Structure 1
Amino acid sequence: MSALPPPTTPFSAADHPWIDIRTGGQYDQVGLRSLFLDAHRIDDLALPQPPAASALLRIATAITARITGLDDPELTASQWNALRRSRLAEGRFDPDAVHTYFDQHGWDVFDPIRPWLQTPSLRTECDHSTGINAFVSGRPAGRNFAWFSPHGHHTAEPVPTAEALQILLIHHYYGRSGTGTTRTPLDGVTSRQQTSGPLRSSVSFHPLGRTLHETLLAGVPAFTGDDQPPGADSCPWEVSTPPDSQATLHGPVTWPGRQLTGLSRHAILLVPGDDGTTVTDAYLTWATQEDKPITTDPYLAYRIIPETKKVDRRRILYRADASRAWWRDLETLLLAPDEHGTQCRPAIFDTLNDLPEPLRRSLRIRVHGFDQDGKAVDLQWYTAITPPLLNWTQEHDPVKAQRIAECCREAEQAARRLQTVAKDAWDTAMRSRRGTTPPPLGEQVIDPLLAEGRDGVLAAAGRTRHTSPHGFRRRGRRRPARDHRSRPDPPDLRGPRGRPRRPRALPPVRHTPESRLMSTAAEHRASCDAFVAHIHLLCAEPGVRVRLSRGRGRPVEECAPMDRYLARRTAHRQGRRAYYTVASLIAMAGPQTHTPGVRPDQDPDSAPQDNPASLLVTPVEPTPTAAPDPTAWYARPNLGATLATAVRRAGHQAERTESLLHVLTRLSDDQLHRRLPAPVTRLLQDGITPDWAVLLNDLVQRPYRRDNVGLRWRDAFYLATPEPRRT
């Protein structure tokens, strides 16, 4: 490490070691000054608590902007990017600039007038200290029981100053809200209510380079404001006067110092030990009673909720979730900002595309999350490192970025479905065991879940939901009700004389169309034909046809006028939007096509070329008693065969139709439903009517078997069109 001047204060945040770092396979502790002098040799920070690492990265980024001159708001975007590239090309921070900056400001942690990141007036404004146990996360304090720690009110062990500084950063950025130590400022009102820190319950995404030098320069956010005079921005340690509780957080949030380091909601004061190497007590209370300023943290992702009436609540940050893997947020990280989108990636990603190519290709993302509730409960913190993913962003590879986003959405949808099915099966099992049901019923419910997976879950849920545990109804005195929140007692497996009790035989399960949760493929196809026939009957009335046609391309939530006619048949079906889309397409087709079984002709010689009406075959009512034939179903034309008929009969250009088919097979489910009415309208105008039942079946299967449905469409198209000529 570089040579440092001897420390002249009891504990200096600049010169005393308190920051854990990693260089190769070696770990060490350094101060802030050494952190910048040796940043080109340091691989990464190694702080044991990820919230402290996330807070320290924000502080180090603000210092980086000061040392390198990247904090000049008058620089244009091209000038700012050129300056950052030159600083990266230098390979290290300028030692003279580092020493100059750290010599200008005070870094003494226990300075009586201006302690670093602390409020010295708390000695007189608070009646008593908060206590070291309340300051250190994980220690029991007050009347809480000592479950996982030997500390208590009479065993307040001191904390090393290096560890106390890291905890200090956590309180400034992730501090809790609610009741704290009472504070009475000289010119204010006594209060003990405090608000949460600016990063509470959040997950941060920081660029991670090959060295700490690259990490800090890549993490400097660009200036995006309108006007900021030079010198208007300052960090808390750059101000000579102590912070005022009435003036804190007034005025605009300037860039980058106050944006990254000056939004704390807590006032803290550490009480040192005799030699300054430990902290024996602490004051922890509110720093301001003003409302939180509206600003954008460059390392946080946000959700947009346009339906919210209050403007200040339409944007909320992504909450940290320790049970959620980082790759589930790939959609947010890779897609560029969209004015109509509901997700907004961290603003720091907008500047990473201007980095030099070698650095951009190797740049990873460090994820720091702290799973907390909104007030005082800390659940779990976590950290992760992504592989290099900037080459997958929408700016560089829009096709791959969109594909990854679709995969993430499908995974989330599958997770929700699996959670719902498992919860229903478990609730069914618990309901069946709250009565006097013999033990084998519970075994019949749980065993299929373990042995058969999702199909077993549905089968078990179907057995217990529609099967009574008794073959008769109990008469006489009613059974006393039990609290539905209590867990059922273990059943008695023995009879009166200790012999094994013989389980009562269950009544036979009668499967009806209403009670069966999963239908066979043949039954589903028959239901598609029945649904199409039902829509044809509805469309015989002009008013109903108009209401159904208004839902084309829209999601189910926006099709309220159609619910009156479709909800009873689709409320509990998978792929409900497919039914609404097909119903709107049938209604859009017009009264001349509202006949069951109308499909395009497959034989090119059976109808004249110049008569569009001849493209429709005579309707044929299916025989109810006939056994389902899968071969006959797949012989019916799907969307690909219908487009091929349009090429052969209606004069549609083959290349453009082929391109349209490829686009439809690659679209997401939402985009397919939105774009499908346009090509279907053209087909109907040329006298070609799709097989609505086959289209409905494909749209229902597509969320689960997208590739198979697309392959069937392409096969049907190419098998029905002539092979292109070889040049």
Structure 2
Amino acid sequence: MRRLPDRTTRSTPDRSVRQVTQEVIMQFNLATEPWIPVLRQQGQVAQVSLQTALLDAHKIQSLVPPIPTMVPALLRQVLLPVTLHALGAPRSPDEWQRRFAQGQFSTVQQEELRSYLLQEHLDDLDLLSTTRPFAQVAELTATNNETKPTSLLMPGVASGNNVPLFSALTEADTPELTPAEAALWLLHTHCWDTAAIKTGAKGDPQVKAGKTTGNPTGPLGQLGVIVPMGRTLYETLILNQPYRYDGLATADRPHWAAATEKYPLLPGETDARTPQWSTRAPRGEMDLMTWQSRRIRLIPANTPDGIRITSVVVSAGDRLENTPEYEPHTAWTCTAKPAAGRPPQRPRRHLSGRSAWQGLDTLLALALPTDGDGRYTSVLLRQIGELEAEGHLPPGYPLRLATYGLEYGNQSAVVENAITDSMPLPTASLAAENSDVRAALLEAAGQADRASRATDRLLMDLRRAGGGEPLPRDKGNRPSQRLLYTLDPSMRLLLAQLRDVGDDIDLLEEEMTQWETTAWRAAWSLAEQLLVSAPPQAFGGRDSKEGTFRTALAERGLRSALYAVFPRAAEARRLPTEVTTP
């Protein structure tokens, strides 16, 4: 953050009274100022500039912003589009492999990135510019001339209708943000903002009664975001680049290059640096990733602590017609007969309370459903599978998947919950439909689900045996949730172990047997707690129109279910114990 020297202007008509005004020119250029929180390979946490984040991407392990949902915002709003716009997308799997195998940007690529950031677009990356501030509208003004506190950008802080249960601040508090903090929240708002009514802006012809209604959430709020992660930030950037045989669309560009001689506005398109907005289709990947879903103005002030963002204006921004099928960071629900006006593919969203591995059936859905409805995994995971099948990834590459989502409530006007997770995923499971590793992972995830439902049935049977009624579907503390929570570390261990099995079927079977044995023990340990807690009258049980229920029958039913769910562990239990006689 730089402050240029003060400029002093003197009024000369009356020399006995000098009028002195001081103007502090505020600048914070994202290309050169530290603002991106990263974890270096040596384990140090630091803030770096956009230039450093890219040029030293091979020395950075990961992004570590204040909240996890800022990670995809940083990747999509700046890091990936800068890389794609400056260097272009890989045009083939072979070119993708060459970039990946480099392990870092080459000398030539680093010079191209420097030129892009420090010469071609340096002025476009100034957060506090008075004429073209980054991702904002200069002099954006509400129709009532009012501004809002910076908490409007922060879902975890009370603001308007958004009243989080656990917040250290109230709406009366006005947090002051450093430019670095404000930059992160600015990008997060463009990606995840709620669908609440927005302040009407002067110069927006679509304002009604000082407001804009019908706003959708930010683009990422409509997705269940899935981000492939590598061992370094550099590998993560390459893993998130789609290869395009024809290159990126000629008209595609990030928002900071829009409305220029090279990228003039298309019919029906509005300039994101003005209060006006439109509903349209994106030009391509870079336009989609840097989508300006809001019109925002950060209002800085010179405080005793330095330059701070003290208030904001947030109004309506561009709206997507539909999420395009080339959206790289989501899985899909495919509908054979969509409703009129709806596309056949819709983004899938993550469910609150479910671990990422519980959605393996979707993550590993490699084939587009042709008959009937179904699921389909993301563009990038399909690409990784193709690269794995063609030998373009190192054997046993330690791919990690990060998932992000927000759960909205009350007409998507408030944020109720953040959904984030991370897990290892064997790349072999993405290589083919008939992959042994893929089949094993789907089997294990299905086993966890079936075993958890068996423990729920045990509880219901014990309640009936004791003279009670089953729990309603949407109420009560269910043992299935406790079992899935208990199995979580074992499932993640299995995911990591299967990275290295290769074509060794015996090793695969050994790992699956170990998983089943562990899962069986966990399920039975939970069952024992339920059996011990059953009331005495459950032993004798009772007869009803639904059948006969007693403790012994409930226990036998669970044992039968576990034998069916875990065949390898069941076989190990059936094997006779070898006794060696002297």
| TM-score for the superposition, normalised by structure 2 | 0.68
Q: 1:261 matched to which residue of 2?
A: 290
What aligned pairs does 1:116-135 form with structure 2 within 5 A after superposition?
Answer: 116-120=134-138, 122-123=140-141, 125=143, 127-135=145-153
Whether 2:306 is the aligned partner of 1:282: answer: no
| Deviation for aligned residue 1:115 | 0.9
Secondary structure at 2:45's aligned position in 1?
strand
Query: Could you say which residue in structure 1 is the equivalent of 2:374?
Result: 342
Instruction: For residue 223 of structure 1, give the secondary structure of its aligned residue in structure 2.
Output: coil
Of 107, 113, 120 in structure 2, the residue corresponding to residue 104 of structure 1 is 120
Instruction: Report the 3-state secondary structure (helix = DSSP H, G, I; strand = E; otherwise coil) of the residue aligned with 2:310.
Output: strand
Within the alignment, does 1:704 sit opposite 2:565 as a pair? yes
**2:447 partner letter:** E
Aligned with residue 140 of structure 1, among 139, 148, 158: 158
1:413 partnered with 2:450: yes
Q: CA deviation at 1:107?
A: 0.6
* Deviation of the 1:114 alpha carbon: 1.2
1:354 aligns with 2:387: yes
1:389 corresponds, among 426, 434, 437, to 426
Match of 2:85 in 1: 66
Q: Measure, in 2, the Cα distance between the counterparts of 1:221 and 1:30.
A: 26
In the other structure, the counterpart of 2:217 is: 196
Mapped partners of 1:452, 1:282: distance in 2 = 57
Query: For 1:180-259, what aligned pairs fall within 5 Å after superposition?
Result: 180-190=198-208, 191-193=211-213, 194-200=215-221, 202-223=223-244, 230=250, 232-239=251-258, 240=260, 242-244=272-274, 248-250=278-280, 252-259=281-288
Provide, for residues 158-188 of structure 1, a one-character-per-residue CA deviation record: whole Å limited to 9, x for no partner: 1122111111121111110132223353443
Are positions 1:399 and 2:436 aligned together? yes
- Given that 1:249 and 1:293 are in contact with CA atoms closer than 8 Å, whether structure 2 keeps it comes out as no
Q: Distance in 2 between matches of 1:6 and 1:292?
A: 43
Deviation at 1:302, TM superposition (A): 2.0
Q: Which of 26, 32, 39 is the aligned partner of 1:15? A: 32
Mark the CA change 1:79 to 1:704 in structure 2 (over 3 Å): closer, same or farther. Answer: closer
The match for 1:503 is none
* Change over 3 Å in CA distance of 1:391–1:156 after alignment to 2: same
What is the alpha-carbon distance in structure 1 between the residues aligned to residue 144 and residue 527 of structure 2? 63
Distance 1:430 1:17 in 2: 66
How far residue 57 of structure 1 moved from its aligned partner, in angstroms, is 1.3
Preserved CA contact (<8 Å) 1:70 1:84: no
DSSP 3-state at the match of 2:58: coil
Asked if 1:49 corresponds to 2:67, the answer is yes
Q: Please give the alpha-carbon distance, in whole angstroms, between the structure 1 residues aligned to 2:171 and 2:375.
A: 46
Label 1:413 to 1:163 Cα distance change in 2 as closer, same or farther (>3 A). Answer: same
**Contact 2:350-2:405 at 8 Å conserved across structures:** yes
Shift in alpha-carbon separation, 1:450–1:430, aligned structure 2, 3 A: farther
Greater radius of gyration (CA): 1
Distance 1:88 1:396, change over 3 A: farther
Q: Secondary structure at the match of 2:220?
A: coil
Match of 1:626 in 2: none
The alpha-carbon deviation at position 335 of structure 1 amounts to 4.3
Given that 2:224 and 2:403 are in contact with CA atoms closer than 8 Å, whether structure 1 keeps it comes out as yes
CA pair 195-461 structure 1, distance change in 2 beyond 3 A = farther
Is the 1:93–1:213 Cα contact (8 Å) retained in structure 2? no
Q: Distance in 2 between matches of 1:82 and 1:144?
A: 46
Give the corresponding residue for 2:350.
Answer: 320
Letter in 1 for 2:405: F
**519 and 211 in structure 1: CA distance in 2 versus 1, 3 angstrom threshold:** closer
Query: Mean Cα displacement is larger for which, 10-19 or 422-431?
Result: 422-431
Shift in alpha-carbon separation, 1:41–1:423, aligned structure 2, 3 A: same
Q: Is the 8 A contact 2:3 2:26 kept in 1?
A: no
Q: How does 1:485-634 map to 2 (within 5 A)?
A: 510-511=542-543, 514-517=546-549
Give 1:189 deviation, angstroms.
3.8
Give the letter aligned to residue 199 of structure 1: L
Q: Does the C-alpha gap of structure 1 residues 203 and 292 become closer, same or farther in structure 2, counting only changes over 3 Å?
A: closer
Partner of 1:368: 403
TM-superposed CA distance for 1:357, in Å, is 5.2
Counterpart for residue 7 of structure 2:
none
**Cα offset, 1:26, TM superposition:** 1.0
* Corresponding residue number in structure 1 for 2:47: 29
Q: Which amino acid aligns with 1:182?
A: G
**Secondary structure, counterpart of 2:127 in structure 1:** coil
Q: Do the aligned partners of residues 165 and 416 (structure 1) sit closer, same or farther apart at CA in structure 2, a change above 3 Å counting?
A: farther
Per the TM alignment, residue 101 of structure 1 is displaced from its structure 2 partner at its CA by 0.7
- Residues 371 and 511 of structure 1: CA distance in aligned 2, closer, same or farther (over 3 Å): same
**Structure 1 match to 2:58:** 40
Identify the residue that residue 414 of structure 2 maps to in structure 1: 377
Gaps of 5+ in 2: 5-24, 261-270, 470-524, 574-582
Is the Cα contact below 8 Å between 1:19 and 1:29 reproduced in 2? yes
Q: Deviation string for 1:33-75 (max 9, x for gaps)?
A: 111121122122111211111111123112122232227xxx4
With over 3 angstroms needed to count, the CA separation of the structure-2 counterparts of 1:310 and 1:121, relative to structure 1, is farther
> Following the alignment from structure 2 to structure 1, what is the Cα–Cα distance between the partners of residues 395 and 186?
33
The verdict on how the C-alpha distance between 1:156 and 1:245 changes in structure 2, with shifts beyond 3 A counting, is: closer
Deviation at 1:361, TM superposition (A): 3.1
The answer to whether 1:270 aligns with 2:298 is yes
TM superposition shift of 1:406: 2.2
Higher strand share: 2
- RCO higher in 1 or 2 (8 Å CA, sep ≥ 6)? 2
* Identity level (%): 20
